[in-house]
Amino acid sequence: MNLFTAAENTANYANAGAAKAKLPISKMLLLGILAGLLIGFPSCVTNMATYGLDNNSTIRMISGLLFAFGLGMVVVGGAELFTGNTLITISVLEKKATVGGMLRNWLFVYIGNFVGSMALSFICAQFGWLSAGENALAAYSMKVAVGKMTMPFENAFFMGILCNILVTVGVLLSLSGKDGISRFIGAWAPVMFFVVCGFNHSIADMTYCMLGLFAKGNAAYVEAATAAGVAVESLTWGNYLLGNLIPVTLGNIVGGAAVGFTYWFSFLRGAKKS
């Protein structure tokens, strides 16, 4: 077979997660920044590809088809993505990593993801990228950001859970492949599903939200967004923190940990150790 079985793949991840938990902080940060960029670029791509469209179903379909390549780049490229690393719960349950090591990885990878997303968003907002379509791209990006950071807390939390169920399944499907095409397709399909459904991914939302936040500093972008009926006043760091970053991150943790527990319980619990 050109694939690892689910049991083999879960055992493989238990070892890989243990190694992730022991990475030097410098590598966690740098590979985290890389993943922030690799997930941020598809966020920019989807905004650019859909800013001139009006039909929401069409927007979601195009966004899903394009954005979903991001996770494959992360997995195959060896970057460190917080949402995928919630699967280190497998390593902890298998007693190959400690809770402290897992939390250490989550913290520094998350910081790296945030830095990568922020750098990309700042550059796009400050150096003309958002001016496409006579600032229509800026107005659309601000609209997307407002939508993401003004959800009720519980909605953002549960959409975060559903999202990371699909993301972590995508990571495991990707790692089950023994060739590049299999790995990309394994990661692509579940991610495409979550984007089309409109679920929330904390790292992708970093770029989506910060594009809007940084765009607010440009008077021309604000004018275009206001003319398009965007509630620009809702673009605040406080709304981002409480309306998106915290609830979506917590939801992502719950969803990813649930998948990790399910795979460990189903395929490793009670299995003979080699």
In this model, does residue 131 exceed pLDDT 90?
yes
In this model, does residue 186 exceed pLDDT 70?
yes
Alpha-carbon separation of residue 47 from 43, 69, 128, 221 (angstroms)? 6, 15, 15, 15
Other CB atoms within 10 A of residue 136 CB:
17
Q: What is the pTM of this model?
A: 0.95
- Where does the pLDDT of residue 271 fall: very low under 50, low under 70, confident under 90, or very high at 90 and above? confident
Q: Tell me, what's the pLDDT at 23?
A: 98
- Where does the pLDDT of residue 150 fall: very low under 50, low under 70, confident under 90, or very high at 90 and above? very high
Alpha carbon distance 244, 229 (integer Å): 21
Q: Tell me, what's the pLDDT at 243?
A: 96
In this model, does residue 106 exceed pLDDT 80?
yes
User: Residue 197 is encoded by which pair of tokens?
Assistant: 């459904």
- Where does the pLDDT of residue 2 fall: very low under 50, low under 70, confident under 90, or very high at 90 and above? confident
In this model, does residue 71 exceed pLDDT 90?
yes
